[in-house]
Amino acid sequence: MIPSKLPNTGTTIFTVMSALAKEHGAINLSQGFPDFPCPPALQAALERYIEGGFNQYAHMAGAIQLRQAIANKVALTYGAKLNPETDITITAGGTQALFTAIAAVVHAGDEVIYFTPAYDSYAPAVLLQGGKPIAIELEQLNYSIPWQQVKDTITPRTRLIIINSPHNPSGTILSAADLEALQGLVRGTNILILSDEVYEHIVFDGQQHQSVLRYPELAERSFVVYSFGKTYHVTGWKLGYCVAPEALMREFRKVHQYLVFSVNHPAQLAFAEVMETQPKLWQELPSFYQRKRDLFIDKLKKSRFSIWPSQGTYFQLLGYESITDEVDTALAERWTRELGVASIPVSVFYNQPVQNKVLRFCFAKSDEVLEAAAERLCKI
């Protein structure tokens, strides 16, 4: 029997819940993907580039047209100047970019600080490099980072700190004070930052996404990961990108070229075109998803759930502490079978047993689906 490098890893909860939802014909608000079509202009551009013969390998780092479009957008959005030749690499989705960044800089024995509840790919990627993931639990209810604990946790072995904002699964966002606190902690050290910003444009109530790219001291030591799938409703296209200063990107590309080499060429050209000609598609994303969040919350006002309006992402947490004492994993499965609404138990995003009686629901769905799900949830 070959010893497993990830002995405690099984089928992800997302696969389990989606399969259960399909089996029972439930409304699937578990896995985070939209149920509406991609922008027509993007689809038309993709078809045109396929028909135009752009079907062979793209440049290893990505089509230069797309890297230039990204540099233009970053300058407009965050005021950061990027060299599209050296500072941007196109990846097969955000998760590949996260893995590649970790693989590029984490050596055996290095410590990597991350915050739970957390996206489930962080810790396994660290373990596969022989590193040691160090989990720090976010504050209960407001899911804020306990900065003094971070300071106390840093050791000479700390190689990387992973942050995520807007945050999956909590739907919270980091503030300018958070980024300034992080900047102060790593100043004068060799600690690197991996910033997962795949939901960068899905921020609500007039708030501003605090990218590390707004902070030059952080940007010079950071890998920053983004996702086209989240922005353009095409998660199945699996296209994202990583931004980093030249020295870090050089190491990133060493891994990238052997992991995937290059990614979908016609899709890259389609994104490049649409980014330049249809900027409203990402500029209007906050209002698009805020309306869906508000609709979902409004329809749940008569329910027995505790509701903390999402600040970002397309996820909404609901607390069920006044409904039942059941463990969230068992409850999520039972409600999928009996109620016909699938969700994700938040406890699975922790590295140790936690029971705060919270479920995560995805509201990147049609209005009709959200209304139908809310109606069922209000009957509990």
Number of H helices, E strands in the chain: 15, 13
Domain co-membership, 298 together with 189: no
Assigned domain for 7 exists: no
Any idea what the CATH number is for the domain that residue 235 is in? 3.40.640.10
In Å, how far from its chain's centre is CA 297? Answer: 22
Q: Assess whether 71 and 208 both reside in one domain.
A: yes
| Residues 335, 273 share a domain | no
Tell me what pLDDT residue 165 has. Answer: 98
Looking at 278, 298, 332, the residue that finishes a domain is 278
Count: domains in the chain:
2
Pair 83, 246: CB distance under 8 Å: yes
For residue 291, being part of any structural domain is answered with yes
User: What is the predicted pLDDT for the residue at 326?
Assistant: 96
**215 in the same domain as 302:** no
* Residues 27 and 71 placed together within one structural domain of the fold: no
State the CATH number of the domain containing residue 288. 3.90.1150.10
**Domain around 343:** 13-31+284-377
State how far the Cα of 162 lies from the Cα of 120, in Å rounded to an integer: 12
Asked, for residue 2, whether it belongs to a domain, the answer is no
- CA-nearest of 171, 208, 201, 224 to 32 is 171
Say if residue 206 is exposed, middle or buried (CB neighbours under 10 Å; 0-12, 13-18, 19+): exposed
pLDDT at position 9: 86
CB atoms within 10 A of CB 132: 18
Query: Is there a domain that residue 6 lies in?
Result: no
- Domain-embedded: residue 115: yes
Does 243 share its domain with 108? yes
The dihedral built from the CA positions of residue 12, 13, 15 and 19, taken in this order, carries a sign that is positive
User: Cis (ω within 30 of 0) for the bond into 166?
Assistant: yes
Q: Please report the pLDDT score of residue 295 as a whole number.
A: 98
In one-letter notation, the amino acid at residue 359 is L
Q: What is the CA radius of gyration of the chain?
A: 21
Q: How does pLDDT run along the chain (380 residues), one tens digit per residue?
A: 889 999 988 888 888 899 999 999 999 999 899 999 999 999 999 999 999 999 999 999 999 999 999 999 999 999 999 999 999 999 999 999 999 999 999 999 999 999 999 999 999 999 999 999 999 999 987 999 999 999 999 999 999 999 999 999 999 999 999 999 999 999 999 999 999 999 999 999 999 999 999 999 999 999 999 999 999 999 999 999 999 999 999 999 999 999 999 999 999 999 999 999 999 999 999 999 999 999 999 999 999 999 999 999 999 999 999 999 999 999 999 999 999 999 999 999 999 888 899 999 999 999 999 999 999 999 99
Of the candidates 211, 221, 217, 213, the residue with the CA atom closest to the CA atom of residue 246:
221
Do 81 and 214 lie in a common domain?
yes
Of 216, 247, 278, the position where a domain reaches its end is 278
In a domain? residue 4: no
Q: 22 with 100, same domain?
A: no
Q: Residues 314, 300: one domain? A: yes
Are 73 and 133 members of one domain? yes
Instruction: Give domain status of residue 8, yes or no.
Output: no
Q: Is residue 3 part of a domain?
A: no
Domain endpoint, select from 259, 278, 297? 278
- 189 and 301 both lie in a single domain: no
Compute how many other C-beta atoms are within 10 angstroms of the C-beta atom of residue 325: 9
Q: Are residues 249 and 120 in the same domain?
A: yes
